[in-house]
Amino acid sequence: MKGPKTVYTCTECDYQSPKWLGKCPSCGAWNSFEEETYTDTKVSPASPAAGASGEKAVLFRVLDIPEYMRCPTGISELDRVLGGGLVVGSAILLAGEPGIGKSTLLMQLCGRLGDESKIMYVSGEESRSQLKLRANRLGVDPSQMYVHSEVLLENILKEYESVAPDIIIIDSIQTLVSQSITSGAGSVTQVRECANRLIARIKADGTSLIIVGHVNKEGGIAGPKVLEHMVDAVLSFEGERSQTHRIVRAIKNRFGSTNEIGVFDMTGEGLIPVDNPSAMLLEGRPEGISGSCAVCIMEGTRPIIAEVQALVTPTSYPAPRRTADGIDYNRMCLILAVIEKRLGLRFSSCDVFMNVVGGMKIDDPAADAAIILALISSMKDIPVPNELIAMGEIGLAGEFRAVPSVHQRISEAKRLGFTQIAVPLGQMKRDAEKNGIKTPEGVSGMRGIYDALRILAQTQKSEE
Ligand SMILES: Nc1ncnc2c1ncn2[C@@H]1O[C@H](COP(=O)(O)OP(=O)(O)OP(=O)(O)O)[C@@H](O)[C@H]1O
Ligand SMILES: [Mg+2]
């Protein structure tokens, strides 16, 4: 019989090595190796959903399509992210920073579903009385909810068998340990083994599973990368702890779109879905101050208007500072380079700080136009009119390129009271000529980056 075997696994890419390595030869991550000890040499199947069933291959054509039963959670913003509700028999991973509100959201979910469905809430982090206190604070009292304060997987599976729930919640996967593995809770092996066995079990029974996962200091999901492949959906819970709003983002969803976000407001009574996130994000916008511009981004099917801010200040240091919060750093550098080259404005002797208000993260290239306006506005100290919103992707030649779903964005901007909407000129013309769409009132075209400067110059003139 073979004795225990030690391997070192990269937590980023699951590369394995017999020795500890400082840098992963596969993905290049530093300090990502964790020791794993196997007590037996049995290898668990890579995908617990398929499993080692020993079934014969079947003719694809004759397969029945399983009907995915969706169970709406009644929490509108969560349903939006899940693609219409919780799919019966699916495994979901909810990851987020400590204290962001994961347990709160799940307790509210129990409150909504815990009367019709049997729910087993396994908490490895909190005692029963702590859970009860939270439920009381949130005003939820589900009649069919069972709580289990336990960390040993074998005991959890035993209880699962006797309770036979429709939904099982594990809070959190990093606290679970399996007796068959000697390494500590939260190690790569434990997380993988516990998740594997839980998912294999619920897939066989058609039970829904929600796993809470911690995030590491870089913001990624802690534990083995394979965890994200094992589950059907990965939801990321984001937000600034200093602010009250929270965003749930679908990073992966086998039963719905991955672009949707759900916005919540954290209150003493729990997380309240925000139906109109744009209005919330624009609240308290400064008036007549340079360096701020409204931006419209698409998050899935929904346009959201946020505020992008820039601060450009002269510096005497030879290497000026550049920081970007909520915007990709490289995108900001590219935009700065285009402004320098095409407009001749010099940022090399200035510090540049950029921020998206409300902790939003922008990766929609349509935001380029607003970023440009905010940067030039701060540099020249000319405020962008509050009722102006700009959208357009910038090309390296300084031209504005078409943006998808432009009419949806325009409607949202109008709904929120924006009367000057700047969009790429080419797109507007094409829409008018080819598609016969009349340019809506208040919408103007921008050919290139010069037009962004022109908008600001006009504002300055009208003020004088
Ligand atoms: N009495 C209260 N009134 C208002 N907000 C509260 C109250 N108690 C807790 N909160 C909010 O709930 C948050 C904690 O939520 P929760 O315990 O659900 O987070 P979590 O993501 O599960 O954290 P952990 O990773 O520690 O389990 C706090 O950060 C705080 O914002
Ligand atoms: Mg918690």
Query: What pLDDT is attached to residue 272?
Result: 93
Residue 63 lies in a domain: no
Choose one of 224, 258, 275: the last residue of a domain.
275
Choose one of 275, 304, 335: the last residue of a domain.
275
Query: What pLDDT is attached to residue 279?
Result: 86
Residue 52 lies in a domain: no
- Predicted confidence (pLDDT) at residue 373 exceeds the cutoff of 70: yes
Residue 363 lies in a domain: yes
Residues 401 and 264 in one domain: no
Residues 87 and 144 in one domain: yes
More confidently predicted of 203 and 47: 203
pLDDT tens-digit profile of 144-175? 999 999 999 999 999 999 999 999 999 989 99
Quickly count: other Cβ atoms within 10 Å of residue 29's Cβ.
15
Ligand 1 centroid to residue 97 C-alpha, Å: 11
Residues 251 and 136 in one domain: yes
- Predicted confidence (pLDDT) at residue 186 exceeds the cutoff of 60: yes
Residues 270 and 303 in one domain: no
HSE value, Cβ hemisphere, 13 Å, CA-based, for 270: 22
Q: How confident is the model at residue 1 (pLDDT cuts 50, 70, 90)?
A: very low
Residues 136 and 163 in one domain: yes
Query: What pLDDT is attached to residue 409?
Result: 93
- Predicted confidence (pLDDT) at residue 41 exceeds the cutoff of 50: no
Residues 6 and 102 in one domain: no
Burial bucket for residue 228 (CB in 10 Å: 0-12, 13-18, 19+): middle
**CB of 268 closer than 6 angstroms to any ligand 1 atom:** yes
Residues 119 and 214 in one domain: yes
The CA distance from 154 to 180, in Å, is 9
Question: For residues 195 and 173, is the Cβ–Cβ distance under 8 A?
Answer: yes
The CA distance from 399 to 347, in Å, is 20
Look up the pTM and report it. 0.80
Nearest CA to ligand 1 atom 29: 99
pLDDT tens-digit profile of 91-128? 999 999 888 999 999 999 999 999 999 999 999 999 99
Taking only Cα atoms into account, the Rg of the chain, rounded to an integer number of angstroms, comes to 26
pLDDT tens-digit profile of 431-455? 888 878 888 888 999 999 999 889 8
**Residue-number span of the structural domain to which 347 is assigned:** 280-463
Total structural domains in the chain?
3
Residue 47 lies in a domain: no
- Predicted confidence (pLDDT) at residue 46 exceeds the cutoff of 70: no
**CB of 104 closer than 6 angstroms to any ligand 1 atom:** yes
302: domain CATH number is 3.30.230.10
Residues 214 and 325 in one domain: no
Residues 333 and 370 in one domain: yes
- Predicted confidence (pLDDT) at residue 3 exceeds the cutoff of 70: no
Residue 409 lies in a domain: yes
**CB of 242 closer than 6 angstroms to any ligand 1 atom:** no
Question: Which of 221-225, 314-318, 334-338, 401-405 has the least mean pLDDT?
Answer: 221-225
Residues 114 and 259 in one domain: yes
The CA distance from 449 to 144, in Å, is 60
Residues 98 and 223 in one domain: yes
Query: What pLDDT is attached to residue 7?
Result: 83
**CB of 101 closer than 6 angstroms to any ligand 1 atom:** yes
Query: What pLDDT is attached to residue 104?
Result: 95
Residue 64 lies in a domain: no
Query: What pLDDT is attached to residue 404?
Result: 92
Query: What pLDDT is attached to residue 40?
Result: 53
Average pLDDT over residues 409-430: 92
Residues 443 and 392 in one domain: yes
Using most ligand atoms within 8 A of CB, pick from 138, 238, 266, 272 the residue to mutate for ligand 1.
266
189: domain CATH number is 3.40.50.300
